[in-house]
């Protein structure tokens, strides 16, 4: 379990350390069972609460290897150009239910704050992978997960349009700082000027959906991203879990 030594803040959110494993957003557990929407964005819902665009928070936490945290939305201002804010206004939720970055970025302020924060590590080092290759295809995209050795981390090869990017994500929080900097400045595909930037942004989304929500620590990911690709990434994680193709290993 890896948590923060002290709270940090990013755009739209405050992140606090916790004593028990797992990440919550506005009190909702960040896991596949809580995912109520996975297409152009990922929303979580439980107990009458809902958190919108969670990938912009879970991506930075996953990239820095944080596995235990309580995230709270901090936005108090309405921005009705955002569809998620209109949703919240329509259903009597406040703007703090939206934790996604207003400019479609993977929360660069949070990425920086997490990079500067001290992280406490304790407990067993159980790591999760798939037992066999898992494939999924939807919305014009396709994805494949393959097992990796214990401690190998997450390797991603992601294609969006004409661009392909590769990355090694270390679950111990030791991912290449230059890669994190590129990800921090990459806008969501709907707003991206280039395929390269969209694919780079997608790396954070893949970490959100596969590493944090899906729980995979050691896995090789090959993905050709289509439209509304969270259906693909959350879909393959669900397929692996539902098909009992997931295994935990001790170091």
Partner 1 sequence: MNTGPELDAVPDVLDRAAGMDGTDARPACNVVVADDGFDPGAVELSDDGYAGAGAGTVGRLAAAVQAVERTDAALQYPDPSLVASGPWFVLAPLSGDVSTVHCGTGRVTIRAPADPDRPDAGIDRLLSGLLDAARPRHPAYPVEDDRRGVFTTGLTTYSLSTVDVEGKMVTVTFDVVTTPATRPGAVRTRFGAVDGVSAVTYEPLVGVERADPSPGLRDAVETAHRTVLGDACYEWVPEPTVFSRIPGPEKMALGTGAPGDQSFGPEAYARCVDLLVESIRATEVAP
Residues that bind partner 1 (CB under 8 A): 37, 39, 78-83, 85-87, 89-92, 102-104, 191
Kindly tell me which of 168 and 242 has the beta carbon lying closer to partner 1. Answer: 242
Specify the residue, 88 or 221, whose C-beta has the smaller distance to partner 1: 88
- Cβ contact 5:19 at 8 Å: no
Distance CA 152, CA 58 (A): 21
**Any idea what DSSP says for residue 98?**
B
Rounded least distance, CB 86 to partner 1, Å: 5
Q: Identify the burial level of 33 via C-beta atoms within 10 angstroms of its C-beta, where 0-12 means exposed, 13-18 middle and 19 or more buried.
A: exposed
Q: Identify whether the C-beta of residue 6 lies closer than 8 Å to the C-beta of residue 117.
A: yes
Decide: 206 and 212 in contact? Cβ < 8 Å. Answer: no
Question: Closest separation between CB of residue 40 and partner 1, Å?
Answer: 10
Pairing of strands 22-25, 28-29: antiparallel
CA separation for the pair 162, 181 (Å, rounded): 22
Nearer to partner 1, 35 or 156 (CB): 35
Residue among 103 and 242 whose Cβ is closer to partner 1 = 103
Nearest CB to partner 1, comparing residues 32 and 66: 32
In the bound complex, what is the minimum distance in angstroms from residue 44's beta carbon to partner 1?
Answer: 14
Least Å distance between CB 65 and partner 1? Answer: 29
Question: Shortest approach of partner 1 to residue 77 CB, angstroms?
Answer: 10
Rounded Cα–Cα distance for residues 8 and 14 (Å): 6
3 state DSSP class of 251: coil
- Minimal distance, residue 93 CB to partner 1, in Å: 10
Please, which residue, 86 or 135, has the CB nearer to partner 1?
A: 86
Alpha-carbon distance 112 to 166, whole Å?
21
């Amino acid at each position: 379990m890896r948590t923060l030594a002290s709270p940090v803040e990013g755009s739209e959110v405050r992140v606090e350390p916790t004593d028990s494993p797992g990440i919550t957003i506005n009190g909702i557990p960040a896991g596949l069972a809580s995912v109520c929407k996975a297409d152009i964005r990922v929303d979580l819902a439980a107990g009458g609460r809902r958190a919108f665009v969670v990938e912009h928070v879970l991506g930075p936490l996953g990239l820095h290897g944080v596995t235990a945290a309580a995230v709270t939305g901090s936005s108090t201002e309405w921005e009705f150009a955002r569809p998620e804010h209109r949703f919240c206004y329509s259903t009597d939720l406040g703007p703090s239910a939206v934790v996604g970055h207003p400019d479609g970025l993977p929360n660069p302020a949070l990425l920086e704050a997490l990079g500067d924060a001290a992280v406490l590590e304790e407990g067993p080092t159980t790591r999760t992978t798939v037992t066999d290759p898992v494939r999924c295809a939807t919305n014009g995209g396709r994805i494949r997960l393959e097992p990796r050795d214990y401690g190998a981390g997450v390797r991603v090869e992601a294609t969006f349009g004409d661009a392909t990017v590769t990355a090694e994500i270390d679950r111990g929080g030791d991912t290449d700082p230059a890669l994190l900097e590129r990800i921090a400045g990459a806008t969501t595909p709907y707003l991206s000027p280039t395929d390269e930037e969209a694919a780079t942004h997608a790396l954070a989304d893949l970490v959100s959906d596969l590493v944090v929500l899906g729980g995979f620590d050691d896995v090789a990911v090959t993905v050709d991203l289509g439209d509304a690709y969270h259906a693909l990434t959350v879909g393959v994680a669900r397929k692996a879990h539902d098909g009992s193709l997931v295994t935990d290993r001790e170091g």
